[in-house]
A and B are shown apart, each in its own frame.
Chain A
């Protein structure tokens, strides 16, 4: 299943690249951990240690700047993806037994529970808080013959430490917390502790407090000492 899943994931990314929309998109969520293998070359990093779900989440940081019109449901149709509408508001999900593709945008202002329409791509997206934190510091990893944008692992991990405390599901919260700790440890092993501190120092104080609280909950004294 793992091989099939990663092959399908690469096929999707390949199609986005060919259609010219991959540069407008940032891959976020648990699948980042799989693509961080490239970044952590030479340091002990086991992406298998973290649980990857079928959710393949894409962040569209600036929907208004999308220049090409590409109908994503049509683009993925022959791979077997079908469109499903989540909840009463009708958030679009693209379903396949191996992967579930969803799109997210950063929430602005007071926020809304309605989907954010992106007609150029034939989809709508869920607006969520704190996503700017993932798009301000990104890296590019090589996938096949193209490059994929993902959040910097430090931002990814610290973001997970903020959001795990907002989760209503205990299991999801524990999963987010575990993946954050794994990635932070891998960064420390890669001698990038200073970078974690730099990212941490650059974020608003209320967010910093949330991260500290998250680390305390997780009992991570080593990382706490680093940020203190």
Chain B
């Protein structure tokens, strides 16, 4: 194997590892902020699909801080999804490049 192919092979391994890690991070962050009225007060929950069920994870009484932290999570989720797509593209590209028979 040539130097370039060796480097590409290593990079493919790295990208595959990243794909797994970004998927894990996305699964951790995913979820929608919902507001429920209980008695006279409002409370925030993160609604998350887990298989066939939707799980509601309690966040606390409705407050701007919770909403702000949710928006930051949403922003990060968007960023991770974008980076995941990039990693998928890299895997496709590197896979194709490594299929060539030339020694480079």
Query: Among B2, B4, B10, B17, which residue has its beta carbon within 8 angstroms of that of A84?
Result: B17
Q: Flag if B83 contacts A80 (CB, 8 Å).
A: yes
Closest chain A residue to B85, Cβ basis? A97
Interfacial chain A residues near B21, Cβ < 8 Å:
82, 84, 95
A96 to B90, CA, bound (A): 12
Query: Among B6, B9, B25, B83, which residue has its beta carbon within 8 angstroms of that of A97?
Result: B83
- B59 interfacial by beta-carbon distance below 8 Å: no
- A210 interfacial by beta-carbon distance below 8 Å: no
CB distance from A159 to the nearest CB of B (A): 19
Q: Flag if A171 contacts B14 (CB, 8 Å).
A: no
- B63 interfacial by beta-carbon distance below 8 Å: no
How many residues in B have their beta carbons less than 8 Å from beta carbons of A? 24
Interfacial chain B residues near A84, Cβ < 8 Å:
17-18, 21
A209 to B43, CA, bound (A): 71
Q: Flag if A97 contacts B7 (CB, 8 Å).
A: no
- A100 interfacial by beta-carbon distance below 8 Å: yes
Closest chain A residue to B15, Cβ basis? A97
Within 8 A of B (CB), among A171-228: 171-172, 174-175, 178
- A170 interfacial by beta-carbon distance below 8 Å: yes
CB distance from B28 to the nearest CB of A (A): 10
Within 8 A of B (CB), among A48-65: 51, 53-54
29 interchain pairs, CB-CB under 8 A: A51-B3, A51-B7, A53-B10, A53-B11, A54-B11, A54-B14, A78-B79, A80-B79, A82-B22, A82-B25, A82-B80, A84-B17, A95-B17, A95-B21, A97-B83, A97-B87, A97-B90, A169-B6, A170-B6, A171-B1, A171-B2, A171-B3, A171-B5, A171-B6, A172-B10, A174-B6, A175-B6, A175-B7, A178-B3
